[in-house]
């Protein structure tokens, strides 16, 4: 494949090293190592475009941790982090993974532990975001897509309590509920103590709202994906989700519409390519 006058070959080739963003190249190399085989050049170009785009938009440095849970050839490759800690896989197997649409939870025991605590200094009380990309909405009655448990104060998560709604909380008990099933990008961001912004995508469009909600000092509990955790030191997973997701991120505050545009374009591209 040609980009300009440069031929894109295997990851180790000099032409690739001269063409790809270094962060994208490191990620793609790690994914191919976990998969045990090369990715298609078109998939690599799409992921590189996402990384370059996030940097151009000024949101890259605000992302502390994220996984692109699509594109890779295996579950092992799908949970290689683009940024931050590598999540720990609990019970996801090959049949739970689709290269176009990501990992599918089961509302019982399939989840990822992110390796992060709500009190992590990398995403302070009043400077934080969290997002995920839902490729198949939940059918179970309640669950956490990403973040902390929803039973303690200073809640920081994206969750739901019916098959047809989504809830956002960002460092507070008070949050925002949308009575529509999530499909696509979901996220919240806070850059002050008095309110936060949430962006919800559903089959009919996108809704971005500012919610008055005073932040609270973060309690010590762990971040999960497809689940939440009880408070430390118990750290018991619960509130499992059976949604299917292909991306998650958290970190400092950022422009949600920019991240939405980049990750939605990536997922649309991967869906067309694979």
* CATH code of the domain in which 126 resides: 2.60.120
> Please, what is the end-to-end C-alpha distance for the chain in angstroms?
16
Kindly report, residue by residue over 155-193, the tens digit of the pLDDT.
Answer: 999 999 999 999 999 999 889 999 999 999 999 999 999
Distance CA 173, CA 150 (A): 8
Predicted pLDDT at 17? 55
Kindly report, residue by residue over 120-135, the tens digit of the pLDDT.
Answer: 999 999 999 999 999 9
Structural domain containing residue 267 = 2-273
Average pLDDT, the chain: 92
Predicted pLDDT at 16? 54
Region 197-220: what's the mean pLDDT? Answer: 95
pTM: 0.93
Q: What angle do CA 47, 201, 76 make, to 5 degrees?
A: 40
CB of 37 within 8 A of CB of 65?
no
Predicted pLDDT at 252? 97
Kindly report, residue by residue over 32-44, the tens digit of the pLDDT.
Answer: 999 999 999 999 9
Kindly report, residue by residue over 65-123, the tens digit of the pLDDT.
Answer: 999 999 999 999 999 999 999 999 999 999 999 999 999 999 999 999 999 999 999 99
Query: What is the tally of structural domains in the chain?
Result: 1
Predicted pLDDT at 18? 59
CB of 160 within 8 A of CB of 182?
yes
Please check the confidence at residue 12 and state whether its pLDDT lies above 50: no
């Amino acid at each position: 494949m040609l980009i300009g006058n440069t031929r894109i070959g295997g990851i180790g080739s000099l032409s690739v090293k001269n063409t790809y963003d270094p962060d994208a190249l490191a990620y793609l190399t790690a994914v191919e190592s976990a998969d045990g085989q090369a990715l298609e050049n078109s998939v690599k170009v799409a992921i590189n475009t996402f990384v370059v785009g996030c940097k151009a938009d000024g949101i890259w440095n605000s992302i502390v941790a994220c996984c692109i849970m699509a594109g890779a050839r295996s579950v092992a490759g799908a949970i290689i982090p683009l940024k931050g800690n590598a999540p720990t896989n609990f019970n996801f197997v090959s049949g739970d993974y689709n290269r176009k649409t990501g990992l599918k939870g089961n509302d019982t025991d399939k989840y990822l532990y992110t390796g992060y605590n709500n009190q992590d200094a990398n995403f302070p009380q009043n400077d934080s975001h969290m997002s995920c990309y839902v490729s198949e909405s939940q059918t179970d009655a309640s669950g956490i897509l990403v973040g902390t448990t929803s039973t303690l104060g200073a809640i920081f998560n994206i969750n739901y309590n019916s098959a047809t709604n989504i809830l956002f909380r960002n460092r507070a008990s008070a949050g925002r509920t949308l009575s529509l099933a999530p499909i696509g990008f979901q996220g919240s961001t806070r850059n002050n103590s008095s309110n936060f912004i949430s962006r919800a995508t559903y089959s009919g469009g996108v809704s971005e709202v500012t919610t008055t909600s005073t932040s609270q000092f973060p309690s010590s509990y762990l971040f999960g994906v497809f689940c939440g955790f009880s408070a430390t030191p118990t750290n018991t997973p619960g509130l499992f989700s059976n949604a299917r997701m292909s991306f998650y991120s958290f970190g400092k505050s950022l422009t949600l519409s920019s991240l939405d545009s980049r990750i939605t374009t990536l997922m649309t591209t991967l869906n067309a390519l694979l």
